[in-house]
């Protein structure tokens, strides 16, 4: 991005926590395509793996908007078994304590009595079959659910067939459930492309996202990214820390007025993390510093009730490589930080703006965990499309990035329709500004028609900077 923030020191103090290990999926799976099994098995082994059918991950965040919700999981073998294999998929409430300990979370257990697995979770794979049919898992809301609580449903796969083996991670997957039944939403249909709006909050009030509604009454923007907080280097204390300029801090200090209304509307509120012209950078931390900074980011997101982080590798100076907290700028270092963030806050979004040393297509496998497991989605620089990295699909990639202020990026209806048809999962916008709606809104409208086959209503109201008062044009 091309806008530089002027930074004032502001950091969130926190206690440093113990090391974490990310629960991982050991296989790169893409529905309908052959699976490359080499990363996670030896050719002589018959390994089992339990994953979400849609995301191919061993964890899935569920937004419960009705009293009942269904999803599908599958059990896979690493190769043809050459014999019948029995499989049992069940809720294992005891694993919740292990998961919470590993990830340093405090998720409450979703009652097993409110979870139904098709055929009681009992399946048999034929000698020439490597994967179960879709296994329907249905959960029912229970009385007393809290909107601000994340609930965990730990699933486990077992087999009594001789020779079938599991790693500790491959036999488990978790569903993380949030109660959104009483919250307005942005849901524009199953598998709809999600829109990501980067706000230059030095100039614009993020509440303006609330004024963009489709004709069917759905909010147009799904994710609001606050651009930006900064990764800074404290030369005196010899540490990396998170800093907010006065505009970021104002929004955080007035969270209930400026940020939580967006979340109550069903939008995800994400903080962008950007370099700040010193030795610190999101793609130049050592392994140990990546772990520590990830903990700070997790504490920050939870303290301010944010939905995650978006990394942007810009405006960092080359580091002193004699410093054990820093490392040579690289895709590996950026990948490590994203991995550590997902490990410490699995319920939050970890996303990427493709730039510098961090591109989705070049993200690396970290501790045997593929990028598709720790990068929720990536968007490209203006005018481009993000490409999937290892274990990622186009559903995790932005089909187009549009700079609304200067007019760069293709906002045509035909391109939006084409990107949707190709399978991209996201569309990105930057620098929405009420003073420039005369040309900005029409670009959003054409994208809306292409993505959702409906009109976007021209806003009648706006919010000036640092004001929660809704004003008519």
**Residue 36 pLDDT exceeds 80:** no
The mean pLDDT of 207-223, rounded to a whole number, is 96
Element (H, E) at 402: strand 398-403
Average pLDDT, the chain: 90
Q: Which segment of 54-58, 109-113, 163-167, 419-423 scores lowest on mean pLDDT?
A: 54-58
Q: Cα 289 from chain centroid? A: 22
Nearest to 174, CA basis, from 62, 75, 257: 62
Give 5's pLDDT tier (boundaries 50, 70, 90).
Answer: very low
Mean pLDDT confidence for 240-244? 97
What's the pLDDT score for residue 63?
A: 87
Beta carbons of 189 and 452 less than 8 angstroms apart: yes
pLDDT of residue 1: 55
Q: What's the pLDDT score for residue 43? A: 52
Length of the chain equals 473
Residue 44 confidence class, pLDDT cut points 50, 70, 90: low
- Candidates 37, 211, 314, 370; catalytic one: 314
Which spans in 5-145 are helix H?
95-103
* E strand spans, 201-318: 223-234, 239-243, 268-274, 308-312
The question of whether 314 is a catalytic residue gets the answer yes
Rounded to whole angstroms, what are the CA distances from 466 to 247, 257, 258? 9, 10, 9
Q: How many CB atoms lie within 10 A of CB 279?
A: 18
Supply the pLDDT for residue 148: 81
Range 215-249 burial, b when 16+ CB lie within 10 A, else e? eeebbbbbbbbbbbbbbbbeeeeebbbbbbbebbe
pLDDT above 80: residue 294 = yes
**Rounded distance between C-alpha atoms, residue 2 and residue 409, angstroms:** 14
Beta strands in 306-411 (DSSP E): 308-312, 349-353, 377-379, 398-403
Q: Where are the domains of the chain?
A: 46-179, 194-472
Q: Is 199 helix (H, G, I), strand (E, B) or coil?
A: strand
pLDDT, residue 8, reads 32
Q: Choose the most confident range, by mean pLDDT, from 45-54, 154-163, 347-356.
A: 347-356
CA torsion sign for 300, 210, 313, 350 is positive
Residue 14: the pLDDT is: 35
d(CA 245, CA 5): 7
pLDDT at 21: 34
Cβ 449 vs Cβ 455: under 8 Å = yes
**What is the crossing angle of helices 331-344 and 287-303, to 10°?**
40
Assess whether the previous peptide bond of 243 is cis (omega < 30° from 0). Answer: no
Task: Give pLDDT, residue 34.
Answer: 44
Is the distance from CB of 304 to CB of 259 less than 8 angstroms?
Answer: yes
Instruction: Give the model's pLDDT for residue 10.
Output: 38
Does the pLDDT at position 2 exceed 80?
no
pLDDT at 270 over 60: yes
Rounded CA gap, 188 and 411, in Å?
A: 19
Average pLDDT value for residue range 243-266 = 96
Nearest to 46 by CA among 168, 164, 170: 164
**Which homologous superfamily does the CATH classification assign to the domain defined by 46-179?**
hypothetical protein (bacova_03559) (2.60.40.1740)
Cα–Cα distance measured from residue 401 to residue 386, given in angstroms and rounded to the nearest whole number: 9
The better pLDDT of the pair 377, 237 is held by 377
pLDDT at 190: 82
**CATH code that applies to domain 194-472:** 3.20.20.80
């Amino acid at each position: 991005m091309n806008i530089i923030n002027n930074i004032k020191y502001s950091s969130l103090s926190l206690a440093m926590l113990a090391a974490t290990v990310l629960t991982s999926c050991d296989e790169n799976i893409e529905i309908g395509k052959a699976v490359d099994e080499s990363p996670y098995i030896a050719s002589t082994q018959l390994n089992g793996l339990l994953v979400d059918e849609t995301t191919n991950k061993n964890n899935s965040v569920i937004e419960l908007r009705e009293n009942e919700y269904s999803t599908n999981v599958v059990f896979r073998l690493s190769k043809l078994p050459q014999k019948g294999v029995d499989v049992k998929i069940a809720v294992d409430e005891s694993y919740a304590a292990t998961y919470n300990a590993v990830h340093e979370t405090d998720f409450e257990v979703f009652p097993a009595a409110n979870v139904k697995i098709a055929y009681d979770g009992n399946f048999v794979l034929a000698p020439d079959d490597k994967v179960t049919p879709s296994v329907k898992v249905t959960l029912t809301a229970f009385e007393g659910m809290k909107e601000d609580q994340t609930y965990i449903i730990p699933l486990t796969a077992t087999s009594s067939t001789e020779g079938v083996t599991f790693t500790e991670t491959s036999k488990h997957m978790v569903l993380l459930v949030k109660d959104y039944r009483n919250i307005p939403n942005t849901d524009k249909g199953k598998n709809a492309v999600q829109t990501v709006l980067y706000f230059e909050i030095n100039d614009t009030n993020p509440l303006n996202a609330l004024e963009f509604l489709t004709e069917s009454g759905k909010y147009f923007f799904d994710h609001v990214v606050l651009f930006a907080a900064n990764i800074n280097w404290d030369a005196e204390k010899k540490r990396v820390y998170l800093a907010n300029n006065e505009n970021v801090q104002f929004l955080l200090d007035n969270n209930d007025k400026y940020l939580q209304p967006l979340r109550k509307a069903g939008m995800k509120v994400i903080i962008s993390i950007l370099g700040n012209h010193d030795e610190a950078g999101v793609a130049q931390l050592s392994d140990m510093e990546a772990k520590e900074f990830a903990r700070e980011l997790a504490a920050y997101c939870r303290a301010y009730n944010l939905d995650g982080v978006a990394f942007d590798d810009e405006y960092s100076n080359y580091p002193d490589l004699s410093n054990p907290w820093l490392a040579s700028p690289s895709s590996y270092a950026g990948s490590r930080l994203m991995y550590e963030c997902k490990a410490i806050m699995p319920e939050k979004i970890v996303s990427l703006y493709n730039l510098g040393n961090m591109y989705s297509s070049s993200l690396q496998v970290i501790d045997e965990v593929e990028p598709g497991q720790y990068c929720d989605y990536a968007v490209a620089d203006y005018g481009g499309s993000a490409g999937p990295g290892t274990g990622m699909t186009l559903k995790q990639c932005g089909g187009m990035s549009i700079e609304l202020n200067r007019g760069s990026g293709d906002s045509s209806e035909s391109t939006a329709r084409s990107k949707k048809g190709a399978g991209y999962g996201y569309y990105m916008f930057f620098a929405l500004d009420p003073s420039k709606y005369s040309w900005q809104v029409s670009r959003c409208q054409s994208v809306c028609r292409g993505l959702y086959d409906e009109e976007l209503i021209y806003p009648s109201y706006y919010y000036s900077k640092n004001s929660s008062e809704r004003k008519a044009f």
